[in-house]
Amino acid sequence: QKEVEQNSGPLSVPEGAIASLNCTYSDRGSQSFFWYRQYSGKSPELIMSIYSNGDKEDGRFTAQLNKASQYVSLLIRDSQPSDSATYLCAVNPSTTSGTYKYIFGTGTRLKVLA
Amino acid sequence: SAVISQKPSRDICQRGTSLTIQCQVDSQVTMMFWYRQQPGQSLTLIATANQGSEATYESGFVIDKFPISRPNLTFSTLTVSNMSPEDSSIYLCSVAGGTDNEQFFGPGTRLTVL
């Protein structure tokens, strides 16, 4: 089992819709979770971090964390064509907490159709 | 967040040669990391660059192939030694620090080995 799993996609949504991106992780003791956006040919850009169960909202983005089920998701409301990118989930596992080391998922490619 | 630059942004190298990639940050940071992102893949951590001591390498990466320097809290280099076409990849440095345990990435170096 991979430590951080994401559906590779592509996930296609129409402009204005909600895009839902999911990520599961294997280390139950993980404490820190991050979502990055990566445009083609560019480096990853941090969108959100989440540490506690529940929802965290930032503009059009909402991160959701459920530690009991070991999943974290990212919702993008009012999706725009400019949101088309690969979204990477990253986890700081309990075995490395305090070291800032991340394990990345393979990413989900999102396509927002105009 | 810190401003991170990398040099070179891209290079094409011959098999058997070495390339040194520089990472410069505009402020002092505690943790610096080097990642590799092979075509169509996610990020794989190569090593943690430790200031004033030897880098900490991840499984599958060795110092002889990827020597790293970290002379101060704002600068690090990664050398890719005795290159082969399999080393063709994007190499990224990242920095982390503060209370939020977040990593921020440099723009990356795209390496092609012929």
The Cα A89–Cα A109 span in angstroms is 12
Q: How many CB atoms are closer than 10 A to CB A61?
A: 17
pLDDT per residue as tens digits for the range B6-59: 999 999 999 999 999 999 999 998 889 999 999 888 899 999 998 888 899 999
Q: Residue A97's pLDDT is what?
A: 59
State how far the Cα of A78 lies from the Cα of A94, in Å rounded to an integer: 34
Chain A contact set for B39 (CB, 8 A): none
Task: Give B-chain residues touching A34 at CB under 8 angstroms.
Answer: 102-103
Q: What per-residue confidence (pLDDT) applies to B42?
A: 86
A85 DSSP β-pair partners: A110
Alpha-carbon gap, residue B79 to B68, rounded angstroms:
6
> Is A58 an interface residue toward B (CB < 8 Å)?
no
A92 contacts B42? CB cut-off 8 A: no
Inform me whether the C-beta atom of residue A8 falls under 8 Å from chain B C-beta atoms. Answer: no
Alpha carbon distance B91, B106 (integer Å)? 9
For chain A, list residues with pLDDT below 70: 1-2, 94-99
Q: What is the pLDDT of residue B40?
A: 81
Q: Confirm if B65 and B58 have CB atoms less than 8 A apart.
A: no
Q: Which residue of A has its CA nearest to B97?
A: A100
The reported pLDDT for the residue numbered B47 is 95
The pLDDT assigned to B49 comes to 93
The per-residue pLDDT for A95 is 62
Is it the case that residue B101 has pLDDT exceeding 90?
no
> For residue A9, which amino acid is it?
G
Chain A stretch 72-91, residues whose beta carbon is closer than 8 A to a beta carbon of chain B: 88, 90
CB-based contact B103 A104, cutoff 8 Å: no
pLDDT band at B99 (very low <50, low <70, confident <90, very high): low
CA A90 to centroid of chain Cα atoms = 7
Q: Which pLDDT does position A100 carry in this prediction?
A: 73
